[in-house]
Amino acid sequence: MKNLIFLTLFLIIPVFTHAQPDSSKIIIRFSGGYSDNALSNGVTSIGAVNANITDWNLGLKIGTLVGKNIEIGLGIDYLKQQSEAQSQILIRDYRWIYEYTTTDAHLVVGKAYLSYRWQILNRFYFNPIFSIDIGKTKGEQVIFTALSDETFSSEPTTNLPISDIIWLGKESFSHNYFAINLSPAFSYYFSPHFAINLEIGRFGYSTIDWGLENKQWLASLNPAYWQVGLIFAF
C-alpha cells in the first residue's frame, strides 16, 4: 500500500511550472527499500513449507552526465535479509520430519550503472537504470531438525511436540555474487538540482559463486523490489 501511494503521488503532482534538470555534471543518488513477506505453499497430507522473510537495503550512486540525457556512474548497495522458515514431510505412521531454519544474511555490492532519462511532462521523467553488480554475501544459518507427531500451523514455530531431535546446528556461509539488472524508474524534479526517484521493479540475471546451478532469472514489478530515492545534481 505504501508503494502504491508513492506511485500515485508521482502521477498527480502538479506540472504547471518548469523545473527540468539542468546541465549539472555530477549526480548523486540515495535509495532504499524495505519488504516483509510471508510465503506459504499450504499444508497438505504429505508436507508443507512456510517462511517469513524481511529485506531492507540502502544504496548510493555517484554519476556524471554524458551529453544531455545519458548518465553513467558507480555505486554501492548494502542489503540485509532475515528469515525464518519451516518445512515438514510425512514419513510414516503419522510421524513427521520437521525442520525449522533461521537465516541472517547481508550482501555488499559494487556496481557500474547507466541511465537514460526521457521527459514525460515538465518535471516528470522516465529514467530506467541498467547496472552490473559484483559483490559478496555473508551470513549465518541455524537449523533445527526433529521428529514430530503433529503438523504445524501457518507460522514458523518450535512449539511442537518433539519426540526425537535429529540435528541442531549453526552454519556460516560466504558467496561471491554477480548480477545484471534493469530497473524501470520515474523521477520528479522539484528544482533543477533536486528530485525524488522511484524504481518500480527489476528485470535481470544473478548468480552465486559463478555456478550455473545457482543462477536466477527475475522479471518482476512486485512492490518487494521497489526503491524510493533522492537525486541531487551539482
Across the range 99-109, mean pLDDT stands at 91
Please report the pLDDT score of residue 170 as a whole number: 86
Residue written as cell 512456510? 50
In-domain check, residue 143: yes
Whether the pLDDT of residue 22 is over 70: the answer is no
Has residue 45 got a pLDDT over 50?
no
Inter-residue contact 110 to 75 (CB < 8 Å): yes
In a domain, 97, yes or no: yes
In whole angstroms, how far apart are CA 225 and each of 49, 81, 155, 189?
23, 13, 24, 23
In a domain, 18, yes or no: no
How many independent structural domains does the chain possess?
1
Percent pLDDT > 90 in the chain is 49
Residue 198: give its domain's CATH number: 2.40.160.20
**How far apart (Å, rounded) are the C-alpha atoms in residues 69 and 233?**
13
Domain interval for residue 144: 2-9+24-233
> pLDDT tens digit string along 183-224?
999 999 999 899 999 999 999 999 988 766 778 899 999 888
Residue 105 within any structural domain of the chain:
yes
Q: Which residues contact 86 (CB under 8 A, 6 or more apart)?
A: 48, 49, 50, 51, 98, 99, 100, 101, 152, 156, 157
Mean per-residue pLDDT of the chain: 81
Domain membership flag for residue 78: yes
> What is the pTM assigned to this prediction?
0.76
Instruction: Report if residue 14 sits inside a domain.
Output: no
What share of the chain in percent tops pLDDT 70?
74
Domain membership flag for residue 46? yes
Alpha carbon distance, N-terminus to C-terminus of the chain: 34
Mean pLDDT of 38-51: 63
In a domain, 19, yes or no: no
pLDDT at 16: 39
